């Protein structure tokens, strides 16, 4: 049994396909076992891969582009798409069935501050709708717990958050979901498995087996309900109430959060680059072929 070391950005329901892979038994079928650790930042994911402290990283494909834009000689590549949508939502103080993005102008808005991609994606949405970003009173730099507390104290009008905070607030009646960023942004490779070109070359057989297991998990997800999914991955999320966990997964299902196959397509990758350039996270576009290696995804899909 060979071990694959994975460093993930968050222990999150957003990355449900990974936890299905862990609990479905498909890794053992491929002669693999995994060790998973959680990074304190997105940069730590990339650094662990580059130092050889992990084999795969689960996080944003933006990390491969960030390295390139910094002029680094080190490289990372995306090999399997995990998330095909932004997994964040905008919460308001009460029901707002007629919410429009222009309503954010003049409001106090707490950003999710533990990763850059949610706000970069939201900026793209606001630009698309002609909303004056400078007219929004942005509040940043707060960890999730502090951000939620500030919102509940009435010191902000809107809150950008992921799961399970969204369901907990919505179920309590203290907030309502006014918009899905995933629906507004559209298909984008928000999360993927990353590795180094050297690891991909030297451990191609391991990655082919991992990709087969992962694709089996993706197909299982497509054929089962949020309730069944919630039960399967429960051991990885003992701190999330079963009802909240199921509601969160159902909302993710509804917007097509998870990739249906592991192929990271060029059109969506270039759209991600449009978002990052528009938000001034990177200065230019980079060649798709230098940042994405689909050989393992393609092999898995061919059986």
Give mean pLDDT, residues 154-183.
96
Q: What's the rounded Cα separation, in Å, for the pair 112 and 144?
A: 7
For 6, phi then psi, to 5°, come to -115, 130
Residue range 2-85+188-302, CATH number: 3.40.190.10
Residue 71 has pLDDT above 90, yes or no: no
Give mean pLDDT, residues 134-142.
96
Give the pLDDT confidence score for residue 253 in this predicted structure. 93
Residue 215 has pLDDT above 90, yes or no: yes
- Domain boundaries defined on the chain: 2-85+188-302, 89-185
**Chain center to CA of 155:** 28
Give the pLDDT confidence score for residue 5 in this predicted structure. 97
Residue 31 has pLDDT above 90, yes or no: yes
pLDDT tens column, 275-288: 999 999 999 999 99
pLDDT tens column, 149-160: 999 999 999 999
Q: What's the rounded Cα separation, in Å, for the pair 92 and 34?
A: 39
Q: Which residue has the tokens 């533990």?
A: 114
Give mean pLDDT, residues 251-262.
96
**Given this chain, do its domains 2-85+188-302 and 89-185 carry the same CATH topology?**
yes
Taking all residues of the chain, what is their mean pLDDT, rounded to a whole number?
95
Q: What's the rounded Cα separation, in Å, for the pair 166 and 181?
A: 13
Give mean pLDDT, residues 28-38.
95
Give the pLDDT confidence score for residue 132 in this predicted structure. 95
Give the pLDDT confidence score for residue 121 in this predicted structure. 95
Give mean pLDDT, residues 210-226.
97
Give the pLDDT confidence score for residue 30 in this predicted structure. 96
> How far from 33 is each of 6, 206, 228, CA to CA, in Å?
10, 11, 23
286: exposed, middle or buried (Cβ count in 10 Å: 0-12, 13-18, 19+)? middle
Residue range 89-185, CATH number: 3.40.190.10
Give mean pLDDT, residues 113-117.
89
Residue 213 has pLDDT above 90, yes or no: yes
> How far from 222 is each of 16, 27, 208, 225, CA to CA, in Å?
12, 18, 21, 8
Give the pLDDT confidence score for residue 79 in this predicted structure. 98
Give the pLDDT confidence score for residue 41 in this predicted structure. 76
């Amino acid at each position: 049994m060979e071990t694959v070391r994975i460093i993930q950005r968050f222990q999150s329901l957003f990355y449900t396909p990974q936890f299905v892979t862990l609990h479905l038994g498909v890794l053992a079928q491929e002669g693999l076992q995994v060790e998973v650790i959680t990074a304190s930042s997105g940069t730590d994911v990339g650094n662990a891969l580059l130092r050889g402290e992990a084999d795969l990283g689960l996080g944003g494909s933006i990390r491969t582009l960030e390295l390139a834009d910094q002029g680094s000689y080190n490289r990372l590549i995306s090999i399997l798409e995990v998330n095909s949508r932004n997994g964040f939502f905008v919460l308001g103080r009460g029901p707002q069935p007629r919410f429009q993005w222009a309503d954010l102008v003049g409001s106090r808005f707490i950003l999710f501050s533990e990763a850059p991609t949610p706000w970069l994606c939201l900026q793209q949405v606001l630009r698309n709708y002609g909303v004056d970003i400078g007219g929004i009173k942005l509040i940043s730099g707060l960890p999730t717990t502090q951000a939620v507390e500030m919102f509940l104290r009435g010191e902000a009008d809107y809150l950008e958050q992921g799961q399970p905070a969204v369901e907990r607030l919505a179920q309590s009646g203290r907030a309502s979901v006014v918009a899905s960023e995933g629906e507004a942004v559209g298909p984008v490779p928000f999360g993927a498995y990353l590795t180094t070109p050297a690891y991909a070359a030297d451990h191609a057989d391991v990655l082919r087996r991992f990709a087969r297991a992962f694709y089996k998990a993706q197909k299982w997800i497509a054929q089962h309900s949020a309730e069944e999914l919630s039960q399967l991955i429960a051991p990885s999320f003992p701190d999330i109430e079963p009802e909240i966990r199921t509601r969160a997964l159902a909302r993710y299902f509804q917007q097509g959060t998870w990739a249906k196959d592991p192929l990271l397509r060029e059109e969506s990758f270039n759209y991600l680059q449009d978002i990052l350039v528009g938000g001034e996270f990177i200065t230019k576009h980079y060649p798709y072929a230098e940042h994405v290696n689909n050989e393992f995804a393609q092999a898995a899909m061919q059986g």
